[in-house]
Amino acid sequence: MISASERKPPCLTFRICASCKGTCERSVSPGIAVHTVLMKGPQMATLNDVTSADRVHIGFFGVRNAGKSSLINAVTGQDLAVVSNVAGTTTDPVRKAMELLPAGPVLIVDTPGIDDIGELGEMRVRKAKRVLDSTDVAVLAVDATRGMMLADRELVALFEEKQIPYVIALAKCDLETNADGSEVAATLDLTSGRVVRTSSETGEGIHELKETIAQLAKSPVAEHRIVGDLLEVGDVVVLVVPIDESAPKGRLILPQQNTIRDILDAGAFALVTKETELEQALSRLAAPPRMVITDSQAFGIVAQIVPESVPLTSFSILMARHRGTLDAQVDGADELDRMKERHDVDPDAQPPHILIAEACTHHRQCNDIGTVKLPRMVGNYTGMTPTFDFVSGNEFPEDLGGYDLILHCGGCMVNDREMAWRARHAASQGVALTNYGVAIAKMKGILDRSLAPLHS
């Protein structure tokens, strides 16, 4: 709660709301009820506040029956992974968000054996290798009784190629007294990894392994802000959050939650309203806000209401900046203009093939942005009738051949490495990739305006 001395910044007029007893602005006029919550930071972040996408992703890799799952249980102090002497017990990547001291908030990923065989085994191997694309720190479990296998060496090469910090955990050392790790280190060119002798049975080396993981882990939370670095203490930011049939009941979606938190951490004020009350909310401010951030779906109406002198952008554009892929996505949006030009030149030109990718697996509503609204916007803008394919969650096609464009969500459910991989993967196959917010701003003719606040 905001203290009494903080309740009235010079640029705002409001009073204590009788219904919520908090600091908010409330106005009632015929047919209109406005209840826009006003929040101010800074607030201290706790480990539990970090979403899975912003946690350090720690992947455990190795051949079958090398002791990966036992090692995970020993490192975490919990029975997270199923342990068995039967090779290939782990059949799919298993993820668990938790706090691992001294590393902090992490996402632990147990992967299938990298040497699995057969048709199903090959699929499991592909899934295990796919985990690498979102891994911040890799732990390679090597069975000390067998030594480094060819598959282990191939994994080390992949760690190096993808520039993933890694540690080799020489597992089951209680069964092999001569395994000190020196032979493994000597036979490999370990440019970014090291070897730790461990035993899940006796606990030997587990503390050292945890310390090594913490040293290798660099929290993405500290590296990339959503919007806080663009603000000063006391700034007011207006957030426009449409509430329609596709909005989740009783809560805000993750990009909105994360943006509010980042504003609070910057010591600024977050004023949240719907697009239908935006004009009234702005009129109640004694001075223009530092910035207006809107849900991309409301870009058109919000751009008409917000004066040109007030910086305007969207949650999706901020998420692309947060993930480090904004420049590539801005370039990717140009494909929409190329489609429009092809139609203008030849109305009978072959319709484009577009992939719409969402990183989450939310329940789709009747007027869903990804499957309904966005395809309609693209058709209206280009004058064509594209073919659309849809993927969600962790699924993302290896073969993107045949697609002209990928329209991606904001990416709030994937980490920086995963989003960067998707962008690189598309570029390597010559396919343009952009996100919902950038695409909508392009189609509304306000892309330059929506990018300007990020460069001020």
Indicate if the pLDDT at residue 304 is higher than 80: yes
| pLDDT higher than threshold 60 for residue 24 | no
pLDDT at 332: 96
Q: Are residues 242 and 197 in the same domain?
A: no
Under DSSP, the state recorded for 145 is T
Residue 205 inside a domain? The answer is: yes
- Residue 136 in any domain: the answer is yes
> In which order are the strands placed within the sheet that holds 137-143?
94-100, 104-110, 56-61, 137-143, 166-171, 195-197
Classify residue 435: in a domain, yes or no: yes
Q: 80 and 23, same structural domain?
A: no
Q: What's the burial of 291, exposed, middle or buried (CB within 10 Å: 0-12/13-18/19+)?
A: buried
Q: 251 or 297, which is more confident?
A: 297
Structure tokens at 448: 């330059």
| Domain at 377, CATH number | 3.40.50.11410
Give the phi and the psi of residue 59 in degrees, each rounded to 5. Answer: -100, 135
List C-alpha distances in Å: 447 to 84, 293, 389, 452: 55, 14, 25, 9
Residues 372 and 416 in one domain: yes
Specify whether 305 is located in the same domain as 327. no
What is the average pLDDT across 323-349? Answer: 95
Q: Which residues contact 68 (CB under 8 A, 6 or more apart)?
A: 60, 61, 62, 81, 90, 110, 111, 113, 141, 171
- Look at residue 152 and tell me whether its pLDDT is greater than 60: yes
Q: Which of 193, 221, 249 is the last residue of a domain?
A: 221
pLDDT in tens, 114-126: 988 888 888 888 8
pLDDT of residue 381: 96
Are 29 and 90 part of one and the same domain? Answer: no
Please check whether residues 106 and 59 belong to one and the same domain.
Answer: yes
Q: How confident is the model at residue 146 (pLDDT cuts 50, 70, 90)?
A: confident
Domain identity same for 217 and 228: no
Looking at per-residue pLDDT, the higher value among 247 and 204 belongs to 204
In this structure, of 63-72, 140-149, 178-187, 233-242, the range with the lowest mean pLDDT score is: 178-187
User: Mean pLDDT throughout 231-257?
Assistant: 85
- Residue 331 pLDDT greater than 90, yes or no: yes
User: Picking from 51-55, 62-66, 219-223, 262-266, which range would have the lowest pLDDT averaged per residue?
Assistant: 219-223
pLDDT tens digits along 176-190? 656 555 566 555 554
Last residue of a domain, one of 262, 290, 310: 310
Give the CATH number, domain containing residue 14: 3.40.50.11420
Domain that includes residue 287, residue range: 4-40+224-310
Give residue 139's pLDDT band: very low, low, confident or very high (50, 70, 90): very high
Average pLDDT over residues 403-422: 91
| Position 13 pLDDT exceeds 70 | no
The pLDDT assigned to 144 comes to 87
Higher pLDDT, 227 or 81: 227
Same domain, 57 and 111: yes
Kindly state the average pLDDT of the residues 307-313.
Answer: 97
- The number of distinct structural domains making up the chain is 3
Res 270 pLDDT > 70: yes
Predicted TM-score (pTM) above 0.85: no
**Cβ–Cβ under 8 Å, residues 379 and 407:** no
45 within some domain: no
Res. 7: pLDDT tops 50: no
> In this predicted model, which residue has the larger pLDDT, 365 or 452?
452
Residue pair 300/408 in contact by the 8 Å Cβ criterion: no
Same domain, 136 and 164: yes
Q: Answer whether residue 376 shows pLDDT above 70.
A: yes
The pLDDT value given to residue 428: 95
∠ CA 368-371-375, nearest 5°, is 115
Whether residue 315 is contained in a domain is answered as no
* Range name among 11-15, 220-224, 370-374 with the lowest pLDDT average: 11-15
Residues 130, 346: Cα–Cα separation, whole Å: 40
pLDDT at 65: 87
Please check whether residue 186 lies inside any domain of the structure: yes
Question: What pLDDT does 148 receive?
Answer: 87
Which pLDDT score is estimated for 85? 52
The answer to the question of residue 137 being in a domain is yes
What is the arithmetic mean of pLDDT over 287-303? 95
Mean pLDDT of the residues in the chain: 82
Instruction: Please check whether residues 231 and 215 belong to one and the same domain.
Output: no
> Is 380 a member of any domain?
yes
* Residues 375, 381, 386: CA angle, nearest 5 degrees: 45
Q: What is the domain-level CATH number for residue 77?
A: 3.40.50.300
Let me know whether 171 and 257 are in one domain. Answer: no
For range 313-339, the mean pLDDT:
95
pLDDT at residue 189, rounded to an integer: 53
Average pLDDT over residues 208-216: 91
Last-in-domain residue among 275, 310, 345 = 310
Tell whether the model's pLDDT for residue 246 goes beyond 50. yes
What is the arithmetic mean of pLDDT over 208-235? 83
The confidence score (pLDDT) of residue 52 equals 77
Same domain, 194 and 280: no
Tens of pLDDT, residue by residue over 56-97, are 999 999 998 888 888 999 998 877 655 555 455 555 788 888
Q: Which helix (H) or strand (E) holds 27?
A: strand 23-29
* pLDDT (0 to 100) of residue 453: 95
* Local confidence band at 175 (pLDDT 50, 70, 90 cut-offs): confident
